[in-house]
Structure 1
Amino acid sequence: MVVLMLPGAFLGLGLGAVGFTWMDADLIRFAVGLMALLLVANFALKGAPAGLPRQTPAPVVFSLGAMSGFASFIAHAGGPPVKGYLLSQGFDKSQFVGTNTMFFFALNAIKTVAYAGMGQLSLASLQVSAVIAPMLIVGVLLGTALHGRIDQRRFTTLVYGFLCLTGAKLLWDSVPQLFA
């Protein structure tokens, strides 16, 4: 799945890099937040997919990867398109977490190189990263412990819940700026 999403994500990153200085991050946050809430509403109305993963047409997967790469570069909001896609595939929790992790590892590695090339990394930003890096370890340990304790149904519900919170937060942050 990662291989199917990455070409689009790389295109989205490139478009994000080109538009970085003039794109309105709040507009991107608004659009991604709205998409996240629509995905959650669809889940609330229809429930989680059952059975084998459905086949998503390659152009759709490419487009979702591109949206994720673009939104990630411009507004650090690339999660909802990918999570919505992965949730729609009916993956078990281990497949979901592994695919999501590998996708964003690749995306963020490329994004870091691009930000460095654009002069966006500074000593101050690296210091902040060093200070908060221990929380990454705490998050991985906590996630690993919880992964084995939460059943599939609760896991899916939690992911949709966090997707809903993400969508609401993106709208909360963007709406006042867009309509001020």
Structure 2
Amino acid sequence: MEALAGNPVFWLLAIAGVVLTGISKSGFAGGAGVVAVPLLALVMPIPQAVFLVLPLLLVMDVKTVQYYRHHASWTDLRAVLPAALLGIAAGGLMLGRMPEQALRITLGGISIVFALWHGLAPLLGGMKGAGWLWGAISGLTSTLIHAGGPPINIYLIARQLPKLSWLATAGIFFGTMNVIKLVPYLLTGEWGADVFLMSLLLLPVAFLGTWLGKHIQGRIQDRHFMLCCRGLLLASGLLLIAQAVSG
């Protein structure tokens, strides 16, 4: 990891990924939150990239909840959090065992189809048991590669929440998941002090990203916000598939 710390390409990719993730979390409900791990995976092993990003996600979640907590939809959180816990448990058992290419292609395909098909949100996000389905998928993919944004956004878009309510609900949802994910990550025994130190060095970048996201979303109307979220889902899906194919 010492060689990596002296690699300017690593820091460039890390800063870009963390800033985009912070903007996504506090401004666009996590739609582009999947970019950090794929970018870092270009220069480091994926498991180490996942470990590096988790503390930064926790900090971003705290800031997002601080910004919007009074607007949260607790009804929707009760609908998705129990299923997310099951997804996290399944993901914890699969850490390091499931081919990530297959997971990325599946999730990327879902994201792209949703982004391009306007009628998919009411169909999939509003169907019976949608909270359990998308909550569980989000918990699973979030545990494996921090890619829980696209699945839960399918559910939240179908719910047609106001912008601030969406941001608050997503912030609390991901914050809760990321705290729980500490357990399976620590149990792997592969989370080293050197990776954690790099996370600490990137903390100012995480704060910058969430600050930018809050100020960007305040200047965008609800209908434009929805279009931005679909655009972020499309970009996330394409990136996931590109990473799977290139890997």
TM-score by length of 2: 0.65
In the TM superposition, what is the alpha-carbon distance from 1:129 to its structure 2 partner? 1.0
1:1-180 alignment to 2 at 5 Å?
1-43=76-118, 46=119, 56-57=127-128, 59-177=129-247
Unpaired runs of 5+ residues, structure 1, are none
Residues 8 and 65 in structure 1, CA contact (< 8 A), matched pair in contact too: yes
Q: Which amino acid is the alignment partner of residue 98 of structure 1? A: A
**Greater shift after overlay, 99-108 or 134-143?**
134-143
State how far apart, in whole Å, the 2-side matches of 1:47 and 1:68 are: 17
State how far apart, in whole Å, the 2-side matches of 1:110 and 1:155 are: 29
In the TM superposition, what is the alpha-carbon distance from 1:80 to its structure 2 partner? 0.6
State how far apart, in whole Å, the 1-side matches of 2:153 and 2:233 are: 8
State how far apart, in whole Å, the 2-side matches of 1:33 and 1:151 are: 27
Q: Which amino acid is the alignment partner of residue 26 of structure 1? A: Q
1:128-166 deviation per Cα after TM superposition (whole angstroms, max 9, x unaligned) = 211111122112211221222111111111111111100
* Root mean square deviation, CA, Å: 1.8
Q: Which amino acid is the alignment partner of residue 33 of structure 1? A: G
Unpaired runs of 5+ residues, structure 2, are 1-75
In the TM superposition, what is the alpha-carbon distance from 1:75 to its structure 2 partner? 2.3
Equivalent residues, number = 170
In the TM superposition, what is the alpha-carbon distance from 1:117 to its structure 2 partner? 2.1
Residues 26 and 174 in structure 1, CA contact (< 8 A), matched pair in contact too: yes
State how far apart, in whole Å, the 2-side matches of 1:47 and 1:77 are: 20
Residues 134 and 154 in structure 2, CA contact (< 8 A), matched pair in contact too: no
1:23-42 deviation per Cα after TM superposition (whole angstroms, max 9, x unaligned) = 11111111110010111122
State how far apart, in whole Å, the 2-side matches of 1:82 and 1:142 are: 23
1:35-70 deviation per Cα after TM superposition (whole angstroms, max 9, x unaligned) = 101111222xx4987xxxx9653x221111111111
Q: Which amino acid is the alignment partner of residue 164 of structure 1? A: L
State how far apart, in whole Å, the 2-side matches of 1:18 and 1:48 are: 30
Residues 108 and 241 in structure 2, CA contact (< 8 A), matched pair in contact too: yes
Identical aligned pairs, as a percentage? 29
Q: Which amino acid is the alignment partner of residue 83 of structure 2? A: G
Q: Which amino acid is the alignment partner of residue 80 of structure 2? A: M
Residues 33 and 170 in structure 1, CA contact (< 8 A), matched pair in contact too: yes
**Greater shift after overlay, 71-80 or 156-165?**
71-80
